Structure 1
């Protein structure tokens, strides 16, 4: 019987930090929480993350964003409608698997401008990347530049907002409404 590969202590700390940010926000995520969740020693933080809390949180936001990046890249090659469906599927799993406790790591990071501006900057760059990717996909399907940008922002805002509402309502209903409304909007745009 083969064992699944184990994550390095560094990768475990990053994954746990991302999970904590998704659940508690940036301000609510401490090094102590990360260490406890990762079952790691205090010295391991400074060994793997010489920049301390800022460095591990930055890595965690990028880790959380990578999960969305993969889905966006695959779906954008097929169609924006599939992108919305694929991202919605990912959020359905995440929300139900965590009993609506975890939300978007990137959205949580974006709200940290006052306490952790460098982390908020990472979130801003990530949102711009997603907007650019979705807008490019829409342009490749005949949507003009200004409209493609507007639709990309609308789509991302609707999905991210739906995740917040799903957590608040402890229901997938807001996400289902977004999928029902955004899919046809994107289909008719091209």
Structure 2
């Protein structure tokens, strides 16, 4: 009878090892697929980010072109002045690092745009709908910190309990404020 139990026990142990091995393989397979899925999700997110960046760049290019066209039309209306500002070496290097079209636009417009914008700002009338805050109605108030109040009251000779009553806080808080101030000095 004992041999039957030993054989049955041995068979159950072998079955348990087989099931453990089978579960281990399934877990590894799931981990591998989840890692691949995460990699695919990350890749998809990067692609979406790149596309968003690309569309934002295209919008920026369109806005820059419109701004340059507006500057060119404004320059045609006013008499042209000599270029007073020249690019230094670092600015030229930065311009050459930009896309080819931007370098040409920068070379053309840098002198004209600066002088025209400053003259336009100086000569521009203030519109009636420009709003300014009512400065005369602003009243500044200075408020002391609780630490400063506690120190002043302590210098007057009040105990921490009396200071806490006047400040409306706990005595432990007042003691903490005073100790922190002592360590700071």
Q: TM-score band (shorter)?
A: under 0.3
- TM-score, structure 1 length as denominator? 0.20
- TM-score, structure 2 length as denominator? 0.20
Choose between structure 1 and 2 for higher RCO, CA contacts under 8 A separated by at least 6 residues. 1
Say which one has the larger Rg: 2
